Amino acid sequence: MKTLKSWTLERQRPDGVELRVEDRHILRVVALENQLFRVSLKKDGAWRLPRTWSIAPKTDVAKTDVPWEGRNRDDMSGFDSPRVTIEDGDALTLSTDTIRLTISHPLHLSWAVKVDGVWQTFVEERPTGGMLLGLRDHRHNHFLRRYPDEPVHGLGEKTGPLDRRGRHYEMRNLDAMGYDAETTDPLYKHMPLTMTQTVRSGAWSIFYDNLASCHFDLGKELDNYHLPYRAYRSDDGDLDYYLRWAPDMLDLVKGHVRLTGGTCFPPRWSLGYSGSTMSYTDAENAQEQLEGFVEKIAEHEIPCDSFQLSSGYSSINGKRYVFNWNREKVPDVKAMTGKFRDAGVHLIGNIKPCLLNDHPLYAEVAAAGLFVKDSETGAPEQSTFWDDEGSHLDFTNPDTIKWWKDGVTAQLLENGIGSTWNDNNEYEVWDREAQCAGFGEPIDIALIRPLQSVLMTRASQEAQRAHAPDKRPYLICRSGAPGIQRYAQTWSGDNRTEWKTLRYNIRTGLGMSLSGMFNVGHDVGGFSGPRPDPELFVRWVQNGIFHPRFTIHSWNDDQSANEAWMHPEVTGHIRDAINLRYRLMPYLYTLLWQAVQDDEPMLRPIFIDHPNDPHAWEETDDFMLGRDLLVANVTEQGATSRKVRLPLNATGWWDFDSGQWHAPGAVVEKVVDLATIPLFVRAGAVLPMSIDAERADPMADMGRVLALFPLQGDGSGAGYLFEDDGVSVDAPYSLLNFSLVSRGDTLELDWQQAGTANPVLDKAIVSLPKGETRSLTVRGTAVAPGNQFEL
């Protein structure tokens, strides 16, 4: 590899410049927005891969997507592309209204933002070489200055601390079953994005638009010949990155999800409790056990909206064969799916993109040329998969996409299973030059491995849309890359059952959320290893109810199933926790809508909403659910108390249960028992809730509560309630924008309505914290807590 040093100005553009580097390469630097630059290196003037599937700039009016065959990397549509001011002297400077880039000799890029009238550098390349490029291959490195007092976040689904400083990470999708939630790396997803908070000049992010495997060193490496640096190293592909500045981290998060196409809007029922376990479908009497789940949730009065059908339904002699029904285990598929449908429980079918060599359809699929091809022979590639070998389907082949959609439709959708669980799609094909069809332009698998899972999920989504065009589809996907959030919900994979997984999975979920994957969760109770004991199981459920995906799932060593009623002595605590989730359903659904409409993360690290609180940047088990709820779960075995440091804000916090108000920044020591779920609400919040909802269906709500948590002094608070029918595409909707004014000894609640429909329920009751004694008026009429009023 060679350090790139010499450069000359090749040409100016209205939005930037192109440089000739080392007299052979082209470096394009353009402003896409006032706060967003793109830097692209074309080796010998050409792209290694001239297409991208990650960049799909979201406009104000709609989510966007890319063509199946990818977006041309030279396509600048969807961006503002502001005219930049260019000054050419000893160095070259490019300035937008917000930031200034300086390119100096030898090749060195430095970005600055104006702070108090002075240009302040917020990031620069390593002075002793920022870019390295392979001479005989397409390896490339990028080095930036590193400062020890600047937290670094991002990288999507990673283990360990949320602050990534001082560690080394790899992006190489793996099926990491039973991973250590503190140390294992890599995991399932490819998210080459970091975000850095500076000391004085806001925050910045860098996203490398490259799907090849890569490494990030964020301070573990030390070299005497260079100032402290951070490194990005890729095995292949193009050095093509997007560098964004923002005044705070939240703007970076929102900007990145807009860059990659926004967030899909699944049905409301996807927020309900979802059951799952490998043991049911692995059993010889799978249909009996599956139908027994429906009976058990009714017997134990557990609200439930869906069930994830594990892959055992497709088994032959213990192995998995996609689109194959084992009729001995499930003799009457439609009777089984009908029982779930009658109970109001949606089924999600597990599907896998690799066909084992003895799959009943293998020869047919191979003859049709639908597999990724071996680099030497052109035959279907062979990879280890599910204790055997098989071949992976190639979703860059339109014929494969059609075959897959036909399989999803015939084997799942027409049998009453309306949603797909796109699983085991890490594409562990280690023949780097194995060939993908590339929609007519063949591509090495090493360049696009994580793309295959994205396209697989997109194909499943299209099948679901075609089958039920009026309904919003719901999909789950385990692996993926930037853009997967356009199609599916995701989760942190096959975690291991132990206490530290509960704690560190919180951080993994927050890392995914910061990286633009808002609709996430974990296997509650742990997937792999021993069955959870009663205490751990209760604490895991109490944490899981605050994540967008709430699924109890397992493949325990003793073949037992993680079920809500698995430990009778604590089933009451499990039921209470799940009921709390359903009471919060109107708030959760409003957050989901805000994630789709306004690019607001649902799960939020404390520092996102409290960047000026130094303690908010410390490692913690606490997190925000939306802007209003502070979740402080018990995550330590045998705990009898829980210390919570409340974030510094302007309003203070209410204890959700006790009704006690606490000052901003207060440290609260709560006495806890197994039933305790520490939860605090931002003072000023209006929290929409349900009464005794048995389903996530809005029409199942037995009543509406507006839980008011007013300011202590004079001032105004707010809240929102979004409602529609929960399932339809472009459904009529109601959006209530509440204001809660504190004035002297009185509280005043009012609201404005937007949308095309009335609220789902035309009446609501109001509640106030136990410690609140001020009188309340609702739209000018006195209302006592617990009384009903018209919405």
Report CA dihedral (151, 588, 418, 494) to the nearest 10 degrees.
40
The pLDDT tens digits for 124-170 are 999 999 999 999 999 999 999 999 999 999 999 999 999 999 999 99
End-to-end CA distance of the chain: 67
- Stretch 353-371: mean pLDDT: 98
- Stretch 589-616: mean pLDDT: 98
Name the token pair of 790.
């018209």
The pLDDT tens digits for 379-438 are 999 999 998 999 999 999 999 999 999 999 999 999 999 999 999 999 999 999 999 999
Q: How confident is the model at residue 60 (pLDDT cuts 50, 70, 90)?
A: low
Indicate the domain borders of the chain.
273-352+399-423+452-594, 596-790
- Stretch 56-75: mean pLDDT: 85
Name the token pair of 528.
């792999």
Kind of pairing between the strands at 661-662 and 653-655: antiparallel
- DSSP state string for 26-54: EEEEEEEETTEEEEEEEBTTB-SS-EESS
The confidence score (pLDDT) of residue 637 equals 98
Q: What is the CATH number of domain 596-790?
A: 2.60.40.1180
What are the φ/ψ torsions at residue 458 (nearest 5 degrees)?
-65, -40
Q: How confident is the model at residue 72 (pLDDT cuts 50, 70, 90)?
A: very high
- Taking the C-alpha atoms of residue 505 and residue 323, their distance in angstroms, rounded to an integer, is 32
The confidence score (pLDDT) of residue 235 equals 93
Given the structure tokens 């209302």, which residue do they identify? 783
Count other Cβ atoms within 10 Å, centred on residue 632.
21
The pLDDT tens digits for 564-587 are 999 999 999 999 999 999 999 999
The pLDDT tens digits for 703-727 are 999 999 999 999 999 999 999 999 9
The pLDDT tens digits for 279-310 are 999 999 999 999 999 999 999 999 999 999 99
200, pLDDT greater than 90: no
What are the φ/ψ torsions at residue 246 (nearest 5 degrees)?
-155, 155
> H/E/C letters for each residue in 168-215?
EEEECCCCCCCECCCCCCCCCECCCEEEEECCCCCEEEEEECCCCCEE
603, pLDDT greater than 70: yes
Contacts of 627 (CB under 8 A, 6+ apart): 604, 609, 682, 685
The confidence score (pLDDT) of residue 62 equals 55
Given the structure tokens 């396209």, which residue do they identify? 455
pTM score, two decimals? 0.98
Kind of pairing between the strands at 36-42 and 239-246: antiparallel
Kind of pairing between the strands at 92-95 and 99-104: antiparallel
The pLDDT tens digits for 23-33 are 999 999 999 99
59, pLDDT greater than 90: no
The confidence score (pLDDT) of residue 455 equals 98
63, pLDDT greater than 80: no
- Stretch 556-569: mean pLDDT: 96
The confidence score (pLDDT) of residue 175 equals 97
The confidence score (pLDDT) of residue 217 equals 98
Question: Are 739 and 718 a contacting pair, CB within 8 Å?
Answer: yes
Question: Are 295 and 340 a contacting pair, CB within 8 Å?
Answer: no
- Taking the C-alpha atoms of residue 574 and residue 589, their distance in angstroms, rounded to an integer, is 22
Question: Are 555 and 278 a contacting pair, CB within 8 Å?
Answer: yes
Is pLDDT larger for residue 771 or for residue 720?
A: 720
Given the structure tokens 């924008």, which residue do they identify? 737
Name the token pair of 657.
């249960």
CA distances from 752 to 231, 516, 715, 740, 742 (A): 50, 30, 18, 12, 18
pLDDT averaged over every residue in the chain: 97
SS3 311: helix
Is the domain spanning 273-352+399-423+452-594 CATH 3.40.309.10? The answer is no
- Stretch 179-208: mean pLDDT: 97
- Stretch 748-776: mean pLDDT: 96
Kindly state the helix (H) or strand (E) to which residue 385 belongs, with its residue range.
strand 383-385
